[in-house]
Amino acid sequence: MKTTIGKWNIGVGLWVMASFMIYGFILVYLRDFAPGKEEWIASYATGKHFEARLAHVHGNLFSLLNIVFGFLLMKLSLKDTLAKWASWLALAGLLMPLGILGEVYLGLPFYFVLIGGLSMFLATVLLGVAVVQMNKAKDG
C-alpha cells in the first residue's frame, strides 16, 4: 500500500522554496538596483545583509530537504510512527530560516532558529533510523 506520509513535506517544501526564490530576487534587487545599494554592498558580510543571505540559503536548503524527505517517505516502506515523526520534524525544521527572517525584520528572539535547526537534525537522524529498520518492518 502506498502511503501519503510525506505529501505535505513535498507541497510545503515547494511553496517555501518558491517563496525563498522570490526573496532571492529581492536580495538581488537590493544589491544591484535599489537606491542606497552601496550601503547594502558595504555590509555584505555583516548585519542584516548577512542574516538575510543566511535565511535565503537555509530556506532553499531546508525546502529541498523537505521535498527529498517527502519523496522518500512516500516511496519507502517505513514504519508509520517513525515516518510521521520524521515528516513533522522536517516541516518544523522550516522554522530555522523563517526564524532568521523573524529576527532580521521583526526582532523576534532566536528560539525559532534553534528549534528549526534541531528539528531538521532530528528529522534526518530519525529518517536514517527508519531506513535502517525498513527491512525489519517488511520481515516483521
Residue range of the domain that includes 112: 7-139
CATH of the domain at 29: 1.20.120
Note whether residue 1 is domain-resident: no
Q: Which residues, including other chains, have CB under 8 Å from residue 140's CB and lie 6 or more apart?
A: none
How far apart (Å, rounded) are the C-alpha atoms in residues 108 and 60?
A: 21
pLDDT at 136: 63
Note whether residue 100 is domain-resident: yes
Of 111 and 39, the one with more pLDDT: 111
Task: Cell numbers for 84, please give them.
Answer: 510521521
Note whether residue 65 is domain-resident: yes
State the pTM of this model. 0.90
Write out pLDDT tens, residues 98-107. 999 999 999 9
User: How many structural domains are present in the chain?
Assistant: 1
Task: Cell numbers for 62, please give them.
Answer: 531546508
pLDDT at 41: 82
Burial class from Cβ neighbours inside 10 Å (0-12, 13-18, 19+) for residue 118 reads: middle
Note whether residue 76 is domain-resident: yes
Does 140 score more than 90 pLDDT? Answer: no
Which spans in the chain are helix H? 7-32, 37-42, 47-75, 80-92, 95-101, 111-132, 134-139
Return the H-helix or E-strand segment holding 101.
helix 95-101
Note whether residue 31 is domain-resident: yes
Write out pLDDT tens, residues 44-86. 788 888 999 999 999 999 999 999 999 999 999 999 999 999 9
Write out pLDDT tens, residues 2-19. 789 999 999 999 999 999
Write out pLDDT tens, residues 34-52. 998 888 888 878 888 899 9
Note whether residue 2 is domain-resident: no
Note whether residue 93 is domain-resident: yes
Amino acid at 116: G
pLDDT at 57: 96
